[in-house]
Structure 1
Amino acid sequence: MSKRHERLRAWDIERDAGERLIATLGALVLHSLVSDAVATGSPRTVGVLHGIPLAAVAATTARPDFEILAAVPTAHTDPDEQAALNYVRLLTYQSGRTGPWLPRLRTELHHSLITLMGRSRLGTPTCADLSTWVGQARPT
């Protein structure tokens, strides 16, 4: 069992749900960065997304929830995406047992990005590099 899965279990977060939430947070952070780039005049293209350094993605994980969620559309055509987004929105307002989940999951996302950058042979890996690594890691 990975250390991350051990931490998820210690936090009473089911492993698959935790992984989905981490992926959702990653997508929201990327959306936030692309929205920032578009606001400063860049086109909304895959090229803009691919050009974002992973260091910027890691730094953005520290943004307050409302900043990450600000530019996200309220409705999605994919029901799974909509459910994941709704769950993250709910977690931003939670207290009690689930209150610390979102900050902990953002920390996991940040740690994963820092680890990837540290293991990279590239000086400044970007989202394009991450996309390549994911493609190489998937079984065919």
Structure 2
Amino acid sequence: MTKRHERLHAWDIDRDKGERLIATFGALAFHAIVSDAVVTGSPRTIAALDGIPLAAVAAATTAKPDFEILAAIPTEHTDPTEQADLNYLRLLTYQSGRTGLWLPRLRTELRHSLTTLMGRSPLATPTCADLRTWAAQANLA
């Protein structure tokens, strides 16, 4: 069991659900950065998306308030699991008590994962394209 899985267990978060929520929150942080870039005039192209530094995504996971990251969530999805995870993240923003700590903890786990990947990268400034390449090489994409 990895340290992250041990922490998820200690926080009463199911491992698979926690992993999905971390990935979903990562996608939302990336989406928030893309939205900011488009507003400032960057083109909405694959090259522009691929060029986003992982450091920017990592920073967005903790620097942007929940409402900024969750504001642009699409309302319709073809994948019911994705829809359920997005709805769950929305609900977590309103939770209090022990469950109210889940979202900050998941955000921290995401930032830690991205920071670890960047630290292990031989590249000075790894980008989202590099992350996609690494995921494909590990048969995760």
**TM exceeds 0.5?**
yes
What TM-score do the two structures reach when normalised by structure 2? 0.94
Deviation at 1:65, TM superposition (A): 0.3
Aligned to 1:15: 15
Deviations 1:46-96, CA, capped at 9 Å, x for gaps:
222111001101100111100111222222232222111111000011112
Deviations 1:29-62, CA, capped at 9 Å, x for gaps:
0111111111111222222211100110110011
The more displaced of 90-99 and 116-125 is 90-99
The whole-number CA distance in structure 2 between the counterparts of 1:18 and 1:60 is: 19
Deviations 1:73-131, CA, capped at 9 Å, x for gaps:
22223222211111100001111221100000000000000000000000100000000
Aligned to 1:27: 27
> Number of aligned pairs?
139
Aligned to 2:129: 128
The whole-number CA distance in structure 1 between the counterparts of 2:31 and 2:81 is: 17
What TM-score do the two structures reach when normalised by structure 1? 0.95
Where in structure 2 are the equivalents of 1:62-77 lying within 5 Å? Answer: 62=62, 63-77=64-78
Aligned to 2:56: 56
* 1:65 alignment partner AA: D
* 1:120 alignment partner AA: S
* 1:47 alignment partner AA: A
The whole-number CA distance in structure 2 between the counterparts of 1:24 and 1:73 is: 13
Aligned to 1:91: 92
Aligned to 1:112: 113
The list of structure 1 runs, each at least 4 consecutive aligned residues, that deviate by more than 4 angstroms after superposition, is none
The whole-number CA distance in structure 1 between the counterparts of 2:47 and 2:35 is: 13
The whole-number CA distance in structure 2 between the counterparts of 1:89 and 1:128 is: 28
% identical equivalent positions: 77
Structure 1: 5+ residue runs without aligned partners? none
The whole-number CA distance in structure 1 between the counterparts of 2:44 and 2:130 is: 19
* 2:78 alignment partner AA: T
Aligned to 2:103: 102
RMSD: 1.1
The more displaced of 31-40 and 74-83 is 74-83
